[in-house]
């Protein structure tokens, strides 16, 4: 595959972990010690500057402003000399919500979608809300039933419906049909903040965790993409929770480059975060 066709688009809602991943990935690529490296440093990498500074101080980075829209295109190569372009857009995660809620894609997003060959969708499962039904709700008391009927809450999409709708919108914009299973664009589902899942879930394969938490989304992906074109991985960019205010001394002492890992589709723990790129290219 030519370098210009290896354009990877990062997609993530608010608090999904894409900013920390971007900072950690850029640091690993720039160090030129892992499987992939940057061919030539970009003239402007301000979209990573704040997160890099915070990580070096052992702190969490703040959320990207909702109206922010910048893109950093990194030309990278692997140890065999195969070149790719890693496109990292910097945007507020609320924009992803707006795409689904408004059923609209602006010009900037359309350009990003059109030129992308691979998608990296971040989903944070520890914040997924469990859907109540007759099985897990049980039989409530009369007082509880009365309170439910008196309170009217605005209807909102479930997490399964949200992410399924998002993917369908992106495919529609890219003019990709789903009558046959998709091979292009490739899709990697990143289950972010893996370290915050339960110990039991962390022992499972990422695809099994997704199937347990969001079975409808899992079925949609499994039936829409070919097996070779879709991967589900776990990711912990910082390996631990960091504070916005107080520095983590261990993190500062060892350095951000010694924290973070991914769980491959087959369940192996990989500390080289640039390995995430190979899910598209190899």
Tell me the domains of the chain and their CATH numbers.
3-281 (3.40.50.300)
Specify the pLDDT at position 212: 93
State the DSSP string of 147-172.
Answer: HHHH--PPP---HHHHHHHHHHHHHH
Mean pLDDT by 10 residues, the chain (282 residues): 64 85 84 77 74 87 57 79 74 85 90 89 86 56 66 73 95 93 94 94 96 94 94 93 86 88 94 80 59
- Give the per-residue pLDDT at 123: 95
Distance CA 224, CA 173 (A): 16
How many angstroms separate the CA atoms of 13 and 29, rounded?
24
pLDDT of residue 132: 58
Amino acid 128: pLDDT: 83
List phi, psi (to 5°) of 32.
60, 35
Quote the Cα angle for 202-121-34, to 5°.
Answer: 70
What pLDDT is stored for residue 30 in this prediction?
78
Per-residue CA distances from 237 to 18, 125, 133, 143 (Å): 9, 15, 34, 45
* pTM as predicted: 0.84
pLDDT at 48 (0 to 100): 77
Nearest to 164 by CA among 94, 222, 233: 222
Name the DSSP class of 93: T
The whole-angstrom separation of Cα 101 and Cα 70 is: 22
Tell how many helices (H) and how many strands (E) occur in the chain. 12, 9
Q: Which residues are within 8 A (CB) of 94 and not within 5 positions of it... i.e. 6 or more apart?
A: 13, 14, 66
- Residue 78: strand, helix, or coil: strand
Q: Which of 200, 265, 201 is nearest to 233 (CA)?
A: 265
């Amino acid at each position: 595959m030519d370098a210009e066709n290896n354009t990877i688009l990062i997609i993530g809602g608010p608090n999904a972990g894409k900013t920390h991943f971007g900072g950690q990935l850029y640091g690993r690529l720039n160090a030129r010690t892992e499987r992939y490296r940057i061919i030539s440093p970009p003239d402007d990498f301000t979209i990573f500057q704040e997160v890099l500074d915070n990580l070096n101080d052992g702190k969490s980075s703040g959320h990207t402003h909702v109206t922010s829209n910048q893109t950093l295109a990194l030309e990278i190569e692997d140890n065999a000399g195969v070149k790719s372009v890693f496109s990292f857009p910097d945007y507020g995660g609320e924009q992803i919500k707006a795409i689904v809620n408004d059923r609209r894609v602006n010009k900037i997003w359309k350009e990003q979608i059109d030129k992308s060959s691979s998608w990296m969708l971040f989903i944070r499962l520890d914040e997924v809300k469990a859907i109540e039904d007759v099985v897990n709700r049980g039989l409530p008391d009369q007082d509880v039933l009365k309170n439910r009927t008196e309170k009217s809450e605005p209807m909102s999409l479930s997490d399964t419906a949200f992410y399924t709708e998002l993917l369908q919108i992106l495919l529609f914009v890219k003019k990709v049909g789903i009558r046959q299973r998709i091979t292009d664009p490739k899709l990697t589902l990143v289950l972010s903040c893996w370290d915050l899942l339960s110990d039991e879930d962390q022992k499972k394969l990422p695809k099994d965790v997704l199937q347990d938490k969001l079975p409808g989304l899992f079925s949609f992906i499994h039936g829409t993409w070919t097996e070779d074109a879709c991967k589900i991985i776990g990711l912990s960019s910082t390996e631990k929770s960091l504070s916005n205010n107080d520095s983590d001394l261990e993190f500062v002492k060892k350095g951000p480059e010694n924290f973070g890992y991914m769980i491959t589709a087959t369940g192996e723990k990989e500390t080289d975060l640039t390995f995430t790129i190979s899910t598209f290219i190899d």
